Structure 1
Amino acid sequence: MLCGAAVTQAEEVSAQNLPPESAPILNSVIEEARQSATQAYETDDHELSDALKEMNYQTYRAIRFKADKSLWRGENPYEVQFFHPGFLYQQPVTVYTIGADNQPKRLPFEREAFRYDGDAAPLAKETDDDNGYAGFRVHFPIKNQQYKDEFAVFLGASYFRLIGKEHVYGISARGLAIDTGLPEGEEFPHFTKFWLIEPGQGQPMMIYARLESPSVSGAYKFIITPGDETNVKVQSWLFAREDVAKLGVAPFTSMFLYGENTAVVPDDYRPEVHDSDGVNMITESGEQIWRVLTNPAQLQITSMSDSAPKGFGVMQRDTDFASYLDGEANYHQRPGLWVTPQAGFEKGRLEVVEIPTKSETHDNIVAYWVPEAPFVAGESRYFAYQLETVTGARDSDLATVVRTRQGATVLPGEEPQESQTRRFSIDFKVPEGMSIAPEMLNLTATTNQGQIQQARVFPVNSGKLLRATFLLTPQAGQPADMRLYIHQENQRVSEVWNYVYHAE
């Protein structure tokens, strides 16, 4: 929908983006990925026994890592704990450690590092040194020096999750997404190997990784700094062994069951249930867009086009406990994730996939950057970006959306009438220092289908909020892709609100 003027070319793997000669291990990981792309794709189950593969959820939960067996325990502020292979995790990863001598050492599977309780007890005999691990989690003292908090976990396919000081896990990041939402089905790349570099005093956690899929082979470098907000510097070197129909870079996976914008909510005491409530993007030209998430009745794929975006992310802006009232899931403490592109994000689109779901246990939101340039067999690509957790909304000089609601158009006391027309109400938070002259405010509201009427904007809550309202009469059977923003004296004072509405 939006396009910047400048167009950059896809960035291939070259001497300009390869690591220096002083990083021989990382260079060897990249070269291994390059060579692998010239060969047929193969999976490796590390010869897991059928008993490990076929265990159920309850049995898997009965296998617990012993904290006193953590990697670097008592030697480093960072510690690493591992997940047992088997159950859903049937393609384990090989883990290497790199210490002060800069020599990689393979970490064999150690059954003595796990407790096998109840029905899981017989499975201890099913393991051997070559089984590898399902994944791992990293700990560091963030809140205080007496306890090491978990802040990152790599587990399953190319998924990884991050949290800051006051967060609980919600949204996931991924190394790569391939063919998401296509009729032929999605391809899920897997991390196959990890190199864990033992951090020096005061240094961040550095990880190298290898990625494999039928279409792509890759190498990754992660530099993770835990804190109030955890941030990761990501570099990836990708090599195509097959043509890729749709390459999804810097992907997110999240969940939206229902929210304040949902017309008909389930019979549930909780007002809202979601890990994320919107997609945020800042375009090359500086336009800031807030795309509200929904749980659609049918698969919905939308996109926002641009050249060289300044940033994008999937956010949980609403951090008020009263919005969720969930004392167990703590949805108000779920982080957002924000990407700041640094290399490789040429002309393309931010694609958002919303999948119908009836359960909060199912992730149904996916978002990723899709480069316009095709990625065909024999080619390479380099990407670099910073990924960081975000609490609530990011700071902005513009009025930002804090609430989206919809309802029938009847007035108080009137009888409900059969009508497709809906009233929308969007509240924008006015930033500190912004001077608002109510009589000078104007609203620009557009839709690609249907008709918008009675659009107006006015201050509420003692001027702390600006409320935009309008009536939408949708076109039968057609989704209405709406955009709205506020301006004062011909100058925009708000971000762009974007919403896709389907008539029931």
Structure 2
Amino acid sequence: MADFPRRHFVQGLFASTALLSCATSGHAAPANPSGNSAANNAATPAPAPKFDFDDVVRRARDLAAAPFDARPPVLPDALAQLDFDTWRDIKTRSDKAFVLSPQSPFRMQLFHLGHLYKRPVIVNTIRDGIPTPIPYAANLFDYGRAKFDKPLPVNLGFAGFRLHYPLNSPKSSDEIISFIGASYFRFVGRGESWGLSARGLAVDNGSTNEEFPFFREFWIEASQQQGDRAIIYALLDSSAATGAYRFELSPGKQTELDVSATLFSRKTGVKLGLAPLTSMFLAGENEHRFKDDFRFELHDSDGLLIHSNTDEWIWRPLRNPPTPQITTFPARDFRGFGLLQRDRAFDHYQDLELAYQSRPSYWVEPHENWGDGHVDLLELPTADETNDNIVASFVPSESFEPGKALSFGYRITSFLDAAKFSPNGRVINTFQTVAKALGSSEPVVPNSRRFLIDFAGGDLAYYLDDPSLIEIVSATNNGQILRTFLMPDPYIKGFRAAIDVALPPGQTADLRLFLRSGQRVLTETWVYSWLPQ
């Protein structure tokens, strides 16, 4: 079962969906004077239309026109009071896993309600284009250590679902994707462990008015065109907007999830975050404020990468700030963004159980231009690794008003190899220290700091024999750059750039730095928000 961290537990909302039934007449057909049967004269009934994305769009549109109902049903106390470990011990019985189709390699298991997952969702399977809801039944589950004094309600519902697939070996199935809690979902590629998550939608992210849209209902089927793909439809609801989603899962070494969505607005003045990604950053080489731990680094992701429409690659190391921080990056018609885990060295984490070095990176690529907007990066302070404190999403500039629909599509790729999504020299380390040479007697400029940035990859190794061909390009929006200098680093076949910066007391600065040779840009642009502590 997936390692579900004790974090981002946001509750879903139960809503029953009316099931359409066909009534047949009990009257006999009248006699036919010609002797031909009535059946021969009757028109052949048209086949029932197959369920598809348009059906979910219609439901989302109708839902947006109805009053928002956020009231969840009350769970039995025995479920609501389960602790995390007891809830996690409840599993779908292996002999009760659902087969999407006879030829499909996917198997579906359901998540039981309980602990902090208190809002049921409806889960349907689709066969031959016909959706069928899965009724709750106690015999679907092995309850492990959980004991109940009386039977659970027969209309209980489920907390979510997960799909299994022979991802890492043709002889066994692995959990590859799961949907549970609000609009959260996560998936993995070959050789990856569970880490960051994605969401269907963010609303007023980072504000006191933030809300968490949730999926009310799912429909799951095996692809009819390609048997090694699964298709998931989902109906999203919130007080701000409703939405129809279609997810097409393509498993592999780098698993891909193609997303199509149509949103309908319910109210004015909300900030929507599209394709939101959620992760955890407690400590890294750039910021390790917590000393009482044998592990030097603790994070699911260590940086935000953005590919702009001007072909600039921007790398922003993540932080665990002392106070909540939102950083915005202009991103008109951007080509992609993602939260990446670049540091793959086990000895930097030293965690034998949680395997931070194999946590996936997620990369979002729009299927079409999303227009004017910006990528928001929210960083929240956290004192431990159980909290998701990082959120990145695209925020459109255009307001989203009631009566409007917003359709968009994108692909999320889960991967381990950072080189795939950044062809230039990449930032692999960010360090900071006192702004003077070690052992030097020179006075330290007040309120100054030295940042060391390691670049590797791309074509940097070519310049190791003649570093004089490389220029540091740096800038700050505040304070003063005291000096910059460059050192070859044969250990990484790249270079270490240094920048010393001074700031007036109590102020902050946004720093930028990249390497070039002549007019040729050699690296990503390193950006950093310096908050002196």
TM-score by length of 2: 0.86
Query: Could you tell me which residue of structure 2 aligns to residue 194 of structure 1?
Result: 218
Query: Could you tell me which residue of structure 2 aligns to residue 90 of structure 1?
Result: 118
CA distance in 2, matches of 1:23, 1:382: 22
Deviation at 1:417, TM superposition (A): 6.6
1:310-346 CA distance string (max 9 Å, x none)? 1110100111112111111110000110000113611
User: Secondary structure of 1:60's partner?
Assistant: helix
User: Secondary structure of 2:472's partner?
Assistant: strand
User: Secondary structure of 1:59's partner?
Assistant: helix
Residue 481 (1) aligns with residue 510 (2): yes
Query: Could you tell me which residue of structure 2 aligns to residue 240 of structure 1?
Result: 265
Task: Tell me: CA distance 1:253–1:185, structure 2 relative to 1, closer, same or farther (3 Å).
Answer: same
Alpha-carbon contact 2:50-2:130 (below 8 Å) kept: no
Residue 408 (1) aligns with residue 434 (2): yes
Deviation at 1:61, TM superposition (A): 3.1
CA distance in 2, matches of 1:382, 1:466: 44
Query: Could you tell me which residue of structure 1 aligns to residue 280 of structure 2?
Result: 255
CA distance in 2, matches of 1:463, 1:86: 48
Task: Tell me: CA distance 1:397–1:343, structure 2 relative to 1, closer, same or farther (3 Å).
Answer: closer
State which of 493, 510, 532 in structure 2 corresponds to 1:464: 493
Query: Could you tell me which residue of structure 2 aligns to residue 111 of structure 1?
Result: 138
Alpha-carbon contact 2:192-2:359 (below 8 Å) kept: yes
CA distance in 1, matches of 2:521, 2:122: 52
Task: Tell me: CA distance 1:55–1:276, structure 2 relative to 1, closer, same or farther (3 Å).
Answer: same
Residue 499 (1) aligns with residue 528 (2): yes
Deviation at 1:50, TM superposition (A): 3.8
- Code of the residue aligned with 1:454 in structure 2: it is R
Query: Could you tell me which residue of structure 2 aligns to residue 388 of structure 1?
Result: 413
Structure 1 unaligned regions, length at least 5: 1-20
Residue 127 (1) aligns with residue 153 (2): yes
- Code of the residue aligned with 1:489 in structure 2: it is G
User: Secondary structure of 2:462's partner?
Assistant: coil
User: Percent of counterpart pairs with the same letter?
Assistant: 37
Q: Structure 1 stretches (4+) deviating beyond 6 angstroms?
A: 415-418
- Code of the residue aligned with 1:98 in structure 2: it is I
User: 1:63-462 counterparts in 2 under 5 A?
Assistant: 63-72=90-99, 75=102, 76-99=104-127, 101-118=128-145, 120-122=146-148, 125-128=151-154, 130-182=155-207, 184-200=208-224, 202-262=227-287, 264-343=289-368, 345-395=370-420, 396-414=422-440, 419-431=446-458, 435-436=462-463, 437-461=466-490
TM-score by length of 1: 0.91
Query: Could you tell me which residue of structure 2 aligns to residue 48 of structure 1?
Result: 75
Structure 2 unaligned regions, length at least 5: 1-47
Alpha-carbon contact 1:116-1:124 (below 8 Å) kept: no
CA distance in 1, matches of 2:270, 2:53: 28
Alpha-carbon contact 2:429-2:454 (below 8 Å) kept: yes
User: Secondary structure of 2:75's partner?
Assistant: coil
Alpha-carbon contact 1:44-1:91 (below 8 Å) kept: no
CA distance in 2, matches of 1:60, 1:397: 44
CA distance in 1, matches of 2:429, 2:50: 48
- Code of the residue aligned with 1:224 in structure 2: it is L
Deviation at 1:397, TM superposition (A): 3.1
The number of residue pairs the alignment matches comes to 480
With 239-248 and 58-67 compared, the bigger mean Cα shift is at: 58-67
- Code of the residue aligned with 1:150 in structure 2: it is E
- Code of the residue aligned with 1:360 in structure 2: it is E
Residue 60 (1) aligns with residue 84 (2): no
Task: Tell me: CA distance 1:405–1:462, structure 2 relative to 1, closer, same or farther (3 Å).
Answer: closer
CA distance in 2, matches of 1:114, 1:49: 17
User: Secondary structure of 2:218's partner?
Assistant: strand
With 332-341 and 430-439 compared, the bigger mean Cα shift is at: 430-439
